[in-house]
Each structure stands twice: as C-alpha cells, then as structure tokens.
C-alpha cells in the first residue's frame, strides 16, 4: 500500500489541480511569479469561509530599530472578559517571500471567535527585499510590543504564545529561540503549524512529489531569498532556520502539526523529537493523507475539522 491523498481532501483540491494542469510552475528564484500565483490563492481560500461578526480588528504600528514602520493588527472577540487573559502573536505563511496580514483576516478572526483568545498579527518584512535577520527581528519586535502593551490590552504577559503556519511557523520557532537566547519576553507556548524550519530541505522525495503544494523549487526560492548564498551551508544560524538550533533545552512548550504529504514532514518530525529529547513538552500531530496548507481549501473535510479543533483547543487553553 502506498501513501495517497485523503479522499475528501482530494475532492476539494481537484478543481485547483484541473485549473493548474498544463501550466508551468515559476522557475527557481522567481519570487514575483510566486507572489502573483500564490497570494491570489491565499486570498481565495481566506474568503471562502464566513468571517465572524463578533471579532473587532484594530491596527497599531511599530517603529523598528532601523526606523521602519510595520503594521500590527489586533483581533479581539467582542464581549470577552475584561480580566487579563491569554493572547497569541501570529506570523503568517508565505515561504518567507509573500503574503501580508490582510490576506489572513478571515482565518485569524475565526481563530479568535472560536477560542476567545485575542491575536496580534505582525506584518513582518519579506525577503528578498529584506533578508535575514529582518523578518525574525520584526517578529520579535512584535512580541516585545505586545508584552509592553499587555496591561493596556488586557493581556496577562505570562500567557502569551507565538503562533504561525508554514514560514510563519518557522518564524514563531525562531522567535522562541531568540527570546530564550536574549533572555527576552516570556513565551507560554509555541504553536507551530506545518512549520518551515530547515533550509536544507531541497532534495525532492518521489513519494511526496505528486502532492507537493509547496515544492522543493519553491522551498529553494524562499530560503535562497532569505539567506542568499548561505543557504544549506555550515553557517546558517538557528534564528534563521530553527532546525539548526544546537540545543533546544529551555525552549517553550510546543504544539506542532504537519501533514504526511507535506515536504516539511521530516524536518517537523525531527524538530519535535529533538525538543522532546531536550526536555521540552511537545504535542505532535502527523496527519495522514494531507499536503501543505490543505485545510484552507478542504475546510469541510473531516481531517480539516480535526486540525482546527486541535488549534482552537490549544489557543483556548493558554
């Protein structure tokens, strides 16, 4: 028996596969082509589900250490308790090279509505225009900002998590390492959803290749934009690629999930194992029959409902 798509997920993805049949993917290094193709797909997926009416969105801005201004978007559930409670800092996906907070308004609002936990989304700057360390430094600055404004926003600073999917999951993991190494703000939990952790994931796996919604060419493009010539070399820091962390001890408790048909499967499995071996509490889920970011399109599938229930549970438990 060989691995294959979950039947419900396959049915949901079939129209996209048909629309893309015969098209030529952008070559390695074509950031603009990937932005044009994938940002439209993300926007379509985000708008495919209803946006909750009980979530309020407020924009703030942060002045970075290099004098730039980045957007911080704060999502809160109307009628939530006024006592200081938990919150999460969110970093969006996009392979380090694409996306912005507005593309994810619907999905973040749904997390907040279902869990009651407010979320701060950080519009970190993207590679290649802003290579490492700018994206992770922007993300870290967002975490610091929320800690500094916790009292005004009704947040308990001891109950702040970092949350991200794909590249954003990698950034959440990197921020966790950075906060530990700098003895910076406390992080209650790192919630890593199919995270992009390892710049050395560049060799295609023939078992996964037919299902790779984010391909090895895409991965080389994203990591190359972030790291330049350093990609897959000996000197990549863990603050850029968390899989490079020498010692995971002392990192925050982790929730990690990934699909069996995701090219990040092995690096995520390895990271979860290394965290556990270092004494870090880990909850890990490997979901059979699903590729990268499947739940945005196949949101009515049983497996998507399970993963969303788990994410809401973790956010609610902060």
Q: Which residues are catalytic?
A: 166, 262, 292
Decide if 282 contacts 268 (C-beta within 8 A): no
How many whole angstroms from its chain centre is CA 299? 17
Q: What angle, rounded to 10 degrees, do the helices at 31-47 and 105-115 form? A: 40
How far apart CA 290 and CA 304 sit, in angstroms, is 9
How far apart CA 298 and CA 306 sit, in angstroms, is 12
How far apart CA 315 and CA 54 sit, in angstroms, is 17
Give the DSSP H/E element, type plus range, for residue 305.
helix 302-316
How far apart CA 127 and CA 225 sit, in angstroms, is 5
Decide if 127 contacts 226 (C-beta within 8 A): yes
How far apart CA 312 and CA 306 sit, in angstroms, is 10
Phi/psi of residue 227, nearest 5 degrees: -110, -15
* In the block, residue with structure tokens 């890593």: 192
Give the DSSP H/E element, type plus range, for residue 160.
strand 155-165
- For residue 233, give every residue at least 6 positions away whose Cβ sits within 8 Å of its Cβ, in sequence order, or none: none
* DSSP 8-state secondary structure symbol assigned to residue 252: P
Q: What angle, rounded to 10 degrees, do the helices at 134-148 and 167-182 form? A: 70
């Amino acid at each position: 028996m060989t691995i294959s798509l979950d039947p419900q997920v396959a049915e949901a993805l079939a129209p996209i596969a048909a629309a893309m049949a015969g098209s030529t993917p952008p070559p390695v290094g074509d950031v603009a082509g990937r932005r044009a193709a994938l940002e439209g797909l993300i926007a379509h997926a985000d708008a495919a589900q209803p946006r909750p009416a009980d979530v309020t969105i407020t924009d703030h801005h942060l002045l970075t250490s290099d004098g730039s201004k980045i957007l911080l978007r704060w999502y809160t559930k109307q009628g939530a308790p006024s006592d200081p409670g938990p919150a999460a800092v969110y970093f969006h996906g996009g392979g380090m090279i694409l996306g912005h907070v507005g593309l994810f308004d619907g999905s973040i609002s749904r997390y907040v509505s279902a869990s009651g936990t407010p979320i701060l989304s950080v519009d970190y700057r993207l590679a290649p225009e802003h290579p490492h360390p700018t994206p992770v430094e922007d993300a870290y600055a967002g975490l610091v900002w929320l800690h500094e404004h916790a009292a005004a926003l009704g947040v308990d600073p001891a109950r702040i998590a970092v949350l991200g999917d794909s590249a954003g999951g990698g950034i959440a993991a990197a921020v966790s390492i950075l906060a530990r190494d700098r003895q910076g703000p406390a992080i209650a939990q790192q919630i890593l959803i199919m995270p992009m952790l390892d710049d050395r994931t560049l060799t295609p796996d023939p078992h996964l290749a037919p299902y790779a919604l984010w391909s090895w060419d895409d991965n080389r493009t994203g990591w190359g934009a972030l790291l330049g010539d350093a990609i897959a070399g000996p000197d990549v820091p863990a603050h850029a690629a968390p899989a490079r962390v020498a010692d995971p001890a002392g990192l925050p408790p982790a929730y990690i999930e990934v699909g069996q048909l995701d090219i990040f499967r092995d690096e995520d499995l390895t990271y979860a194992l290394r965290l556990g071996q270092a004494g870090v509490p880990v909850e890990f889920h490997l979901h059979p029959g699903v590729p990268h970011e499947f739940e945005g399109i196949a949101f009515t599938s049983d497996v998507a409902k399970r993963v969303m229930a788990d994410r809401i549970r973790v956010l609610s438990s902060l």
